[in-house]
Amino acid sequence: MISVLPVGALGANCIIVASDATKEAVVVDPGADDQAIHQEVARRGLKVTAIINTHGHIDHIGGDAALKARYGCPLMIHKDDARMLTDAGANLSFFTGEPYEGPTADRLLTDGDEVPVGDLVLKALHTPGHTRGGICLLVLEAAEVAAGDLPRPLALLSGDTLFAGSVGRSDFPGGSHTTLIRSIKEKLLPLPDDLDVIPGHGPETTIGDERATNPYLD
């Protein structure tokens, strides 16, 4: 139900979260290679109902325009990164020699917002520090959310906030290392040890592994 496709020159992980029950899907961080992303969507017979950007850097948003045009679905990003979608300087594409200014967001997310996808829910956790409006996404079962129990998350998509053995850079505009570490400690480390974490770049990890071994989180 979760496909991970490294895309573009920086190998950003584009993540397709799909409901096996309804075949509805959300595309998270289509940074580039929209054709390859669509091939995976088509191969699995999915209907894309939303695009979500974990933050506004070019390696995570570069395919927004092509995929939004193809699927006609809403584009979502945290409100504090919304401006980066349409500003080639702020999204850093200006510095690659290929300035990119894409479509505006259709829905601005804030901490705790939920995006339904079939029998799943993606819940936004605002984790500023890499950018002001960076978010992580918890993948939850809709039935557990509706029951009001403390849901057991299926996965965490951590964007450029937390990586296996590392954390996101904070030297770009809007970044703050202190804020980033606080976001991780307050929002991510309380999650279950065995929770699978799919970062915005590189290999998967778990919350427990990062709590135990990540040198930035002492």
- Binding residues for Zn ion (CB under 5 A): 12, 57, 59, 160, 200
Shortest Å, Cβ 22 to Zn ion: 30
Q: DSSP H helical segments within 34-81, as ranges? A: 34-43, 58-61, 64-71
Side chain identity, residue 8:
G
Q: Which residue has the CB atom at the shortest distance from Zn ion?
A: 57
β partners of residue 164: none
24 vs 59, beta carbon nearer Zn ion: 59
User: Token pair 């606080």 is at which residue?
Assistant: 182
Contact 200, 29 (CB under 8 A): yes
Shortest Å, Cβ 92 to Zn ion: 8
> Of 170, 173, 172, nearest to 181 (Cα)?
170
Shortest Å, Cβ 53 to Zn ion: 10
Q: How many CB atoms lie within 10 A of CB 77?
A: 29
71 vs 163, beta carbon nearer Zn ion: 163
In Å, what is the CA distance from 187 to each residue of 8, 17, 31, 136, 161?
29, 21, 25, 9, 11
Shortest Å, Cβ 11 to Zn ion: 9
7 vs 46, beta carbon nearer Zn ion: 7
Question: Tokens at residue 217, please?
Answer: 């989180």
38 vs 57, beta carbon nearer Zn ion: 57
Shortest Å, Cβ 89 to Zn ion: 15
12 vs 85, beta carbon nearer Zn ion: 12
